[in-house]
Amino acid sequence: MDVNERAEEGRSVVATLRRHAEEEPEKVAVVEGKTGRAVSYAALLADVERCVATLRSAGGIDGSVVSVQLPNWYETVVVDCAVLECGAVLNPLLPGYRRNELEGVRERAKPALMVSPRHYRNFDFAAMYEAMDRDGLPIAHVTIEQGQGDLADALAGALAAGRGGVPLNQRLGIEASELIFTSGTQAAPKGVLHSERTVGSNIAGMAEALSLTRDDVVWVPSPVGHSTGLNFGVRLGLTLGCTVALQDVWDPEDGLKLIESARCSYTLAAPTFLRGIVDLLRASGTSHGYLRAYTCGGAPVPPALVDEADDVGMKVLRLYGSTEALVMTCHRPEAPLADRRASDGPPLPGIDVRVVTEAGGEEDRGVAGEIEVRGTSVCVGLLTDGGLRSLTTDGGWARTEDIGVLGEEGYLRIVDRKKEIIIRGGMNISASEVEHALLGVEGVTDAAVVGVADERLGEQCCACIVVDDHASEERLADIVRQAADSGLATYKLPEQVYAVAQLPRTATGKVQKHVLRSVVEDGRFHASWRRG
C-alpha cells in the first residue's frame, strides 16, 4: 500500500479504530506508564463512539476549533479522537501554557470548547480559566480528571452551555483538522493549519520509511499537546493498530521502565529524552534491544549521543521536521552508523527537499543554502488576522528559513537556523517573548535572551539583564518568579540569568546577540543565578 492509499485509509478515526477492534478486540490500544492502566481497542472504540454521539446530540462541533490542554493521559486520546471524528479542528495545547498563551489562543482561534485538567502538577487550571472567563469573553470550558467516567457527558454539558463565532473551516473556506500554535521569531506564535491529508500522508510516509507495523509499540514521552506526541505518537500508533505507551511526566527511570515493560520499539522524541535513557543504561552497564527506531529531532542531535545510544542497543535515526511541514527527512533503520551520526537523512516518501541560493536558484550538492520543501505534508496555511496565508509558491515549494546542505547521496544536514528561536528539549521558545516578560518586571531596564548549547536539552534559555539595583542571587531569582507570574509558560523561563552593566549593541541600536552567546559559552560570564 503506497503513501496516498495509507493516507486515505486514515480519514475516519472511528472507522480505523473499528477495524482494529474487529481484528484484535482485546489488544491493548493505550497503556499509561504512570498508572499502569491498559485499555483495549474494543474499549477505546466504545469510549470514542460514546463521546462522538453525545457531542453531536449537543449540537455538533463540525468545523469549529476545540482546544485540548491535557497531559499524556488516556482521556486525552479519547477526547482528541472524538474531536477529529466530529469534523472539528483539533487544537492541542501544552499543559505548560498559562494565561498569556491561552488568551492568544482564544482571541485568534475562537474555540467552541476548551478542555483542560482541573488540577495538574500543583497548578489550578480551573481557577485560571475562571479568571479568564470573568475578565473577557465567556469561555465554553470543561475540566477533566484522570480516570473520569462521565467524559462524554462532561464534554457535551460544556458545549451545550453555548459557543459563539463562525466555525474556522467556514471562516477560511478550507478543510482543516488540526490547528497547532508554535513559537517563531515574534512573541505571537504562528497558528499552523493541517488537514487529514497532510497529516495522514506524513504518518504513512513515516510508517513506510521505518517499516512500522501493528506489531510495533509506540513510546510517547513527548507531549500529546503538540504535533510530535499527537501525530507521531498517538495518531501514528492508532492508525497502524499499535499499542501506544503514554508517559505523562518526564523522568528517565520511569521512561526506561515503560520502554522495557511495554517493549516499546519506536518513538519520535527530542534529544533530551534520549540523553536521559542512554545515561541510565550506561550507568548500569546494560543494554536492550526493544527500541529499534528512536527517531530524533527538534533540537541538534550530538553525533556522540548517537554513538552512545548505539552502544546500549538503541538505534537513533536523526530527522528534520517542523510544525509547518511535519517530518521532511529521516534516516532509515538500515542506514549505517556513520550516516546516522552525520546528517538528518533523506526525504520521506512523498516529500521533495531542495537547497536554494539567496536569489532563488538551486544550489549544487554540498553547498549551503536555504532549505525548501514540497509535498503532501506541507500545511494548509498559517492562521492570520486576515484569514489564511499559504506557505507555498506557484511551484508548490515552501521556505523553511533554515540553512542546510544536501550531500551527494541526498542526505540533508542542517547548518543553521534563520529564525531567532531557542529550541529547548524540542520545544520552541520565542526570545522576544521572554525578553518582554523580563522587561515587565520593575527594576529591569534592559534584557536580551539567547540560546546556549546544553548537552541534555539541546539549548538552554539564557537571560542577560540590566537591573537598577544590586543584582543579588535572591533578587535575580525573584525577577524570574515575577516573569513567571506574568503568564509565561514554565518551559520558557530562563535557566540562567546574568546581571550585566550594559548590553552590546550595534550602531543602529540592535543587541549583538552573537556576542552575548559567545561570552556565555566561553565562560567569560559567571552565572549570577541558575535554576536549581
Band of pLDDT at residue 163, cut at 50, 70 and 90: low
State the chain's mean pLDDT as an integer.
88
Is the same domain home to 455 and 353?
Answer: no
Look up residue 137 and give its DSSP letter. S
Task: For residues 322 and 423, give the distance between their C-alpha atoms in angstroms, rounded to a whole number.
Answer: 12
Secondary-structure breakdown of the chain: helix, strand, coil percentages, each rounded to the nearest 5: 35, 25, 40
**pLDDT score of 8 more than 70:** no
512: CATH: 3.30.300.30
Report whether pLDDT(456) > 50: yes
Q: CB neighbours of 465 closer than 8 A, spacing ≥ 6?
A: 438, 444, 446, 447, 448, 471, 476, 479, 497, 498, 499, 500
Q: Which three cell numbers stand for residue 370?
A: 536555504
Which residues partner with 321 through β-bridges?
327
Percentage with pLDDT > 90 across the chain: 59
pLDDT, tens digit, for every residue of 22-37? 999 999 999 999 999 9
Residue 91: pLDDT over 90: yes
* Domain co-membership, 399 together with 435: no
What is the pLDDT at residue 165?
66
Q: What percent of the chain has pLDDT over 70?
A: 93
Over residues 216-244, the mean pLDDT reads: 97
Residue 170, C-beta contacts closer than 8 angstroms, at least 6 positions apart: 63
- Nine-digit cell string for 510: 540592535
Whether residue 1 has pLDDT greater than 50: no
Question: Is 488 in contact with 522 (CB distance < 8 Å)?
Answer: no
- Based on the number of CB atoms within 10 Å of its own CB, is 258 exposed (0-12), middle (13-18) or buried (19 or more)? buried
Which of the 8 DSSP states describes residue 362? B
Q: Which of 363, 396, 414 delimits the end of a domain?
A: 414
Query: CB under 8 Å to 344, separation ≥6 — which residues?
Result: 297, 318, 319, 320, 329, 330, 331, 411, 412, 413, 414
Q: CA 273 to CA 270: how far, in whole Å? A: 6
Categorize the per-residue pLDDT at 3 as very low, low, confident or very high, splitting at 50, 70 and 90. very low
Which residues on adjacent β-strands are paired with residue 389? 382
Strands of the sheet containing 412-417, edge to edge, are 351-356, 369-375, 398-406, 412-417
pLDDT at res. 513:
79
Provide mean pLDDT across the span 272-289.
90
What CA–CA distance (Å, rounded) separates 321 from 12?
25
Give the H or E element holding residue 459. Answer: strand 458-467
Burial of 420 (0-12, 13-18, 19+ CB in 10 A): middle
8 A C-beta contact, residue 131 and residue 140 = no
Where among 391, 414, 437 does a domain terminate? 414
Residue 492 carries which DSSP code?
G
- Say how far apart CA 102 and CA 239 lie, in whole Å: 30
- Write down which residue in 374, 398, 414 finishes a domain: 414
Is residue 377's pLDDT more than 90? yes
Give the phi and the psi of residue 59 in degrees, each rounded to 5: 125, -15
Helices and strands of the chain, counted as H and E runs? 18, 28
Q: Are residues 426 and 359 in the same domain?
A: no
**Segment (H or E) for 477:** helix 473-485
What does the alpha-carbon distance between residue 517 and residue 386 come to, in Å, rounded to a whole number? Answer: 37
Regarding whether 460 and 407 lie in a shared domain, the answer is no
**What is the C-alpha to C-alpha distance for residues 283 and 294, in angstroms, rounded to an integer?**
20
At 419, is the pLDDT very low, low, confident or very high (cuts 50, 70, 90)? Answer: low
How far apart CA 213 and CA 314 sit, in angstroms, is 19
Residue pLDDT, tens place only, 349-370: 999 999 998 777 788 888 888 9
Which stretch, 75-79, 149-153, 437-441, 495-499, has highest mean pLDDT?
A: 75-79
Asked whether the beta carbons of 437 and 483 are under 8 A apart, the reply is yes
Counting Cα atoms < 13 Å in the Cβ hemisphere of 63 gives 13
Q: Is 275 exposed, middle or buried (0-12, 13-18, 19+ CB in 10 A)?
A: buried
Residue 6 pLDDT greater than 50, yes or no: no
How far apart, in whole angstroms, are the C-alpha atoms of residue 426 and residue 325?
A: 16
CA-to-CA separations, 333 to 210, 243, 292, 346, 397, in angstroms, rounded = 6, 20, 8, 12, 28
Q: What is the rounded average pLDDT of the residues 215-232?
A: 96
Q: Is pLDDT of 187 > 50?
A: no
460 and 351, same domain (yes or no) = no
pLDDT band of residue 197 (cuts 50, 70, 90) is very high
What is the pLDDT at residue 23?
A: 97
pLDDT digits (tens, 9 = 90+) for 502-526: 888 754 455 777 788 888 887 777 6
Q: Are residues 429 and 353 in the same domain?
A: no
At residue 304, the pLDDT reads 84
442: pLDDT strictly greater than 60: yes
Per-residue pLDDT band for 432 (boundaries 50, 70, 90) equals: confident
Work out the average pLDDT over 442-464: 87
Boundaries of domain holding 389: 3-414
Q: What is the mean pLDDT of residues 87-104?
A: 92
**Residue that is written with C-alpha cell 520552541 in the block:** 428
Are 322 and 449 in a shared domain?
A: no
Tell me: do 317 and 440 sit in the same domain: no
Buried b (16+ CB within 10 A) or exposed e, 190-206: bbbbbbbbbbbbbbbbb
**Domain tally, the chain:** 2
**67 bridge partner residues:** 91, 114
Distance between CA atoms of residues 432 and 423, nearest Å: 14
CATH number, residue 239: 3.40.50.12780
Query: In the prediction, which pLDDT does 430 show?
Result: 76
Beta-bridge partners for 192? 180, 382
Q: Mark whether 357 and 479 lie in a shared domain.
A: no
Asked if residue 399 and residue 526 are part of one domain, the reply reads no
Residues 395 and 454 in one domain: no
The C-alpha atoms of residue 190 and residue 249 are separated, in whole angstroms, by: 26
Do both 393 and 436 map to the same domain?
A: no
